[in-house]
Structure 1
Amino acid sequence: MTAPPSSPTGPVPAAPAATAAPAPAYAQVVGQIVDRYAEASATTSRLRLLLRESAAVVEELSLPSLHRRVVEAAHQLVALPAATLAVLDGDGAVVQLVQRDADEVVGCLPLDPAVAAGLAPGLGAAAPGHPARLAAGTLPAPWSDGGTAIAVHHRRDVLAVLLVAEPDGGLAADDEDLLLVLAASAGTALENARLYEEARRRQEWLQEAAELSSGTLAVVSEAEAVVLVARSVQKLADAELVAAWVPGGPDGALVPAATLGDRAEALGAAVLHRDDPLVADALAAGRGARRDAVDQPASAGLAALAGLDVGPVLVLPVTGGSGLTGLLVAGRHAGRPPFGDVDLDMAETFVGHVAMALELIRARAAHERVAQLEDRERIARDLHEHVASWLLATSLTVQRAAGASRELTVRRLLHEVVGDIDVTLRRLRDSIFQLGAEQPDTAPRRTGPA
C-alpha cells in the first residue's frame, strides 16, 4: 500500500472522531431520578402533614372537638369522598357518629338505636393495625356501599372505628399506612381525653355532693331537698329531664315529688307502683341502672318518658334505713349519647351522699316533732295545773262572796262572774285537750313541677 503524500509544512493531521450520540439508558436514569425525587418530596410533605395532624389530635382534650378533629385529619391526609367516626363504649356499642360529607361539613349524626345495632357487627371486623374491607351490604344505610374500617385503638382496646369511603381506584398502601398511624395517635388522644373528662366529671359530682350534704340540705325541708337534688342531677348528668318519686300512694306506690326539664309537667300524675319494671328492677338490683325508654314498654314510667321524646335513662333508687325512700330518673332526648359507666357510678355515689343528708333531715324533723310534742304537753300541763286550778279557786271564792252578800244586785253580778269563769274553764279544758291530741304537720309535702 502506498503512503499518502506528505504536506510541505508537515504531516497531515488525522480526521477528528465523530461525537457519539447520548445513550437512551441515560435519559431513562435521569427521568427515574426526577420521579424518585418527586415521590420523596411528596412523601416528605405527607409525613410532615401526618406529624402536624397527629400533634393537633393529641393536644385536644375536649372529646367532641377531638372526634371532629380525627375526621378532618383523615380528609387532610387522604382525599376521601366521605368519612365517619363511630365512637364505641366499653361494650362495643356505637354511642356517637361524627361524619364529614362531600360538602366538607363535619357534625354529629342522630343516633338511631336500630342503626347503631346494625353497625356493631360490621365494625367488629376492625382490628388494631389492620384495615378491614367491608363488602357492600355489610353495614346499614348510608354505609351500605361498603368501604374500609380502621380501628382507632389504645393498645388493644378499640375505642372508635373510622369508616372511610374509598376514592376512585381504591386506597393505596401509603394511604392505608397514613390512616393506620393516625388511628393509633387518635386512640391515645381519645384515651387521654376520656380520662381527663372522667376526672373532671367525678370532681364535679363529688363537689356538688359535698356542698349539698354539708350545707344546703341542712337548712331546707325534705321536699325542698328533693328539688335541689333533682336540679343537681340534671346539671351534672347533662339531662334534659329529671323526675323524682317518693312513697306516698296507696299500697306503697311512688308519687311524683319533683319534675324538672322539658315538658316535665306531663309526669305530674304518673304514679309508679311497686310491680312496675322500673321500680321492681331497681329494688331487685339494689343499685342504679342504665335504661332506654323504649326497652321496657310494660313500664308505665318508661312509657311516659318515651312519650316525652326521652331515650337514654338513668335510674337511681334512693334507699335509707327504712328501705326505698325515693326513685330518681334522669333522661336525655332520643338520639343523644347514652349515659356511661362514669355517669352511673358517680350518680350512685352522689345519691348515696344525698341519702345520708336526707336521713339527717328526717332525723332533725323527728327531733323537732318530739320537741313540739313535749312543748305542747308542758303547756297543757301548766294550763291544767296552774291556770285552770287558779280559775277554779277564783270561781269558788266568788261563789262564797256571792252567798255572803246581802245586796241582791251584788249577788247577781257575782253569779255572772262565776258563769263567765265556768265558760273560760270549759274553753281552757278544750284547748288543753287539743294540745294533747293534735300532731304537728311535719310530713314531706309533694312538690309539683318546678
Structure 2
Amino acid sequence: MDRGHNRLLTFMGAVTSQLDIDAIVRTLVHAAVTVTDARYGAVIVLGPHRSAAEVVTEGLDEATRARIGAPPRLDGILGMVLERTEPLRLDDLTIHPAGVGFPPHHPPMRTFLGVPIRVRGDTFGSLNLAEKTHGRPFTHDDAIMALALCAAAGFAIENARLHRRSHMHRQWLEATRDIATELLAGTSVDDVLQLIAEKFHVLSGASHVTLAVPPDGDLRAAESNELWIAATTDSACGSALGESIPLAGPLGRLFRRRSPLLVEKLEHGFPYGSALALPLSEGGQIIGTLLALRSDSVAPFNEEHLELGAMFADYCTLALRISTNQRRIREFDVVSERERIARDLHDQVIQRLFAAGLALQGTQQRTESAEIRGRLTDSIDTLQTIIEDIRTVVFDLREGRPHSRPLRQRLGAIITELTASTKISVTVHISGRFSDIDGSLADHAEAVLREALANAVRHAAAQGITIRVALTDHQLTVEVVDDGTGIPADSPRNGLDNLADRARKVRGSLTVTNLASGGTRLVWSAPCQRTEPS
C-alpha cells in the first residue's frame, strides 16, 4: 500500500505541475490507469449542450480508435458519472440497466470505475476506467486514488485556466500597446485601423474581422443609414474597403449596437456561426465598430472573448482619442505660428515695402531722364506685385486653419472669386466624399485650382471653362479645361512649375496639354489619404 501511495503522490505531482489543459488530461488518464491497474482509461471533456467535446483514451490502439469513430453519447452510465459527486463502481456494467451509450466497435468491458472531474464546483468531464487486470473488480482504494487524482486535476485545470487567462490578458495589453505606439509615432489612422482589425483577428481566433466607421465619424441615434468599411482581415474582401454597409440588414444591426454583443448563433442561412460586435465609443460618440465572425466549424465565441474584446476596444478608443488630441494640439501650434508669420508680414514687411515704393515714387518725380523714370516705374510695379503676393500669402496663412471650412465650400469660393466679374461661361463638376481628405492635401487642391483657374481667366482669352474636381478610388483629381488660345511656348512657367512641385511633394502628377481644337487642359492628381474618424 505504501508503494501505491507513493506512486499516487508522484502522479498527483505530475498532474498539478502542468499548465496546459490537454497535458493535464493526458497525464490524468495515464496516472489513473497505472495506479488502479486498469486496462482501459478515458477522460471525457464535457462540451456544450451536454456533448463530448473531447475524449482522451489510454489502452486503445489507433486502429480501434479509428473503428470507434464518433465520441460516445453521454447518457446511460457515462451520464450517471457526470451527475454524481462520488465515484461509481460496477463489477459488471453489461448487466446494469444504464449500460448503454457506447459506440459500435467498442472493446468489451465488464468492470468499471467512473469519477466526475469538477473545477470550482462545475463539471469539467469524467474519468472512466475499465477492465482491472486479471478480471478483478475495482476496489474502494482504487476509487479513493482515482478521486484524489481527479481532485488534483481539477485544481490543475483551474490553475491552467488562470495562467492562460493571464497570458491572454498580457497578449491583449501588448496589442493595445503596439497600436498606441503606432498612433503616437504618427502612423496614418487608416493603417492603425487595419492594425486594430488584424490584432483582434489573431487574438480572438476569429475567421473574419471587419472594422466599420460612420460616414461622418459620429453615429448618433438614427442619424445615419450606413457605415463605411475602414479595415478588413479577409484578403478576398480587400476591394470592399471604403464601401458602405446598410444598417437595415443583419450586419448593420450588429454594427448599430452601442454596447458589446455576443451572438452564439447567427441567423439561419448566414455563412458564419457566432459573432462579436464591439463598439469603439466614448461619451455617446461611436468612432468605429469591430465585428468579428467565426465559422460553424470552430467553437463559438464565449463570455471571455466578449470581456477581453470589450477591454481591447476601450483601450483602442482611448489611444485614438489621445492621438486625435495630440494632432489637434500640433495643428493649433501650426495655426499659432501661421498667425505670427502673417502678422509679421503684414505689420513689418508690407509697411517697409510701401515705404520703399513711396521713396521710389518721390525719386521718379524729381528725375528728368526718361530712361531712369521708366526703370523706376518698373521697380514700383514690381514692388506693388510683391505686396499683392505677400497679401495673398497672409490671407492663405490666416485662412489655413485646419477644418475651418469644408473643402467643397473653399473650392466654390475660389471659383466665384475668380469668375464672378467675367463673362466666361463656367461649368463645374465636384464629386466625392471630401470630408475624408487629409488637411494638407486639401490645401494643395485649393492652391492648384486657384492657380489653374487664374491662368485660364487672365491669360487664355477663354469663352468657356470646365472645372472637374473628383475623389475616386482614393485619388484626388483637379482638372481645368478652357477653350482659349493655349499656352505659348515662350510663356513664363513659374505658376506651372509650382503646381508640378506640389504634385511631387504628394507623389502625384501634373499634365498640361494644348488641345487641337484650341485651349488648354490641365490635370493635377494625387493619391488621397483619408483623415481619421473623429
TM-score, reference length from structure 1: 0.64
User: Which residue identity is paired with 1:244?
Assistant: L
Aligned residues: 382
Inter-partner Cα distance in structure 1 for 2:74 and 2:56: 14
Q: Specify the alignment match of 2:185 in structure 1.
A: 219
1:327 to 289, 307, 315: 289
Query: Counterpart of 1:386?
Result: 348
Does 1:153 pair with 2:127? no
Whether the 8 Å CA contact 2:212–2:227 is kept in 1: the answer is yes
The yes-or-no answer on 1:79 pairing with 2:39 is: yes
Q: Which amino acid aligns with 1:425?
A: I
In the aligned structure 1, how far is the partner of 2:232 from the partner of 2:255? 19
Whole-Å Cα distance in 2 between the matches of residues 284 and 139 of structure 1?
46
Verify the 8 A CA contact 1:242 1:330 in the aligned structure 2: yes
Does 2:68 correspond to 1:68? no
After superposition, the CA RMSD in angstroms is 5.0
Q: Which amino acid aligns with 2:44?
A: L
Partner of 2:169: 202
Verify the 8 A CA contact 1:94 1:120 in the aligned structure 2: no
Report Cα offsets for 1:313-362 as digits up to 9, x if no partner. Answer: 44322112351112234556654444443343233234323322322111
1:289 to 261, 275, 282: 261
**Structure-2 residue corresponding to 1:30:** none
**Is the 1:312–1:336 contact (alpha carbons within 8 Å) kept by the matching residues of 2?**
no
Q: Which amino acid aligns with 1:68?
A: R
How far, CA to CA, are the matches of 2:21 and 2:327 in structure 1? 45
Partner of 2:54: 97
Q: Deviations along 1:109-157, whole A, 9 cap, x unmatched?
A: xxx9xx99x97999876213255989699699999x9999753213632
Within 2, Cα distance between the matches of 1:395 and 1:121? 108
Q: Distance in 2 between matches of 1:93 and 1:355?
A: 39
The structure carrying a bigger strand percent of its residues is: 2
Question: Which residue of 252, 256, 266 corresponds with 2:229?
Answer: 256
1:28-82, Cα deviation, whole Å (9 max, x unpaired): xxxxxxxxxxxxxxx99877765554442232221232233344445555333x8
Tell me the residue number matched to 1:415. Answer: 377
Counterpart AA for 2:159: N
Q: How does 1:32-431 map to 2 (within 5 A)?
A: 52-73=10-31, 76=34, 78-80=38-40, 83=42, 85-88=44-47, 96-100=53-57, 102-104=60-62, 126-127=82-83, 128-129=85-86, 131=88, 151-154=116-119, 156-161=121-126, 172-174=137-139, 177=143, 182-206=149-173, 209=176, 217-221=183-187, 223=189, 224-230=191-197, 232-234=199-201, 236-237=203-204, 242-248=209-215, 251=224, 253-260=226-233, 265=238, 268=241, 271-278=244-251, 280-281=253-254, 284=257, 286=259, 288-292=260-264, 295-296=266-267, 306=272, 313-321=275-283, 323-330=285-292, 335-431=297-393
The change in CA–CA distance for 1:164 and 1:445 in structure 2 (over 3 A counts) is farther
Once the 2 structures are TM-superposed, how far is the Cα of residue 406 of structure 1 from its aligned partner? Answer: 1.7
Partners of 1:242 and 1:274 lie apart in 2 by 17
> For structure 1, which runs of at least 5 residues remain unmatched after alignment?
1-42
Distance 1:122 1:245 in 2: 51
User: Is the contact made by 2:213 and 2:230 (CA closer than 8 Å) also made in structure 1?
Assistant: yes
Offset at 1:158? Answer: 0.7
Which residue identity is paired with 2:162? L
Higher gyration radius (CA): 1
Are the structure 2 counterparts of residues 295 and 72 from structure 1 closer, same or farther at C-alpha, using a change threshold of 3 Å? farther
CA distance in 2 between counterparts of 1:182 and 1:130 reads 12
SS of residue in 2 equivalent to 1:187: helix
The DSSP-based 3-state class of the residue aligned with 2:124 is strand
Q: Which moved more, 1:70-79 or 1:152-161?
A: 70-79
Question: Which stretch shows the higher mean deviation, 265-274 or 368-377?
Answer: 265-274
- How big is the shift at 1:97? 2.1
Indicate how the Cα distance of structure 1 residues 48 and 369 shifts in structure 2: closer, same or farther if over 3 A, else same: same
Aligned-partner residue type, residue 193 of structure 2: V
Matched position secondary structure for 2:335 = helix
Alpha-carbon distance, 1:367 to partner: 1.8
Q: Distance in 2 between matches of 1:426 and 1:405?
A: 27
1:259 CA drift (Å): 3.6
Task: State the shift of 1:398 in Å.
Answer: 2.8
Contact 1:282 1:289 in 2 (8 A): no
Deviation string 1:241-270 (CA, Å, 9 cap, x unpaired) is 544333337937433334447767476456
Closer/same/farther in 2, CA of residues 422 and 155 from structure 1, 3 Å limit: closer
Compared CA separation, residues 266 and 431, structure 1 to 2 (3 A): closer
Q: Give me the TM-score of the superposition, normalised by structure 2.
A: 0.56
Q: Is this contact kept in 2: 1:222–1:358, CA < 8 A?
A: no
- 1:416 is aligned with what amino acid? D
| Bigger RCO (CA 8 Å, 6+ sep) | 1
Letter in 2 for 1:257: A
Sort the Cα spacing of 1:249 and 1:218 in 2 relative to 1 into closer, same or farther, 3 A.
Answer: closer
Specify whether residues 93 and 405 from structure 1 end up closer, same or farther in structure 2 by C-alpha distance, changes over 3 A only.
farther
Report the CA distance shift for 1:438/1:289 in structure 2 as closer, same or farther (over 3 A).
Answer: same
The question of whether the paired residues in 2 share the 8 Å contact of 1:205 and 1:350 is answered with yes
CA distance in 1: counterparts of 2:11 and 2:64, whole angstroms: 16
Q: 1:135 to 1:197 in 2, by over 3 A?
A: same
1:194-215: CA deviations, max 9, x gaps? 22322343344446656765x6
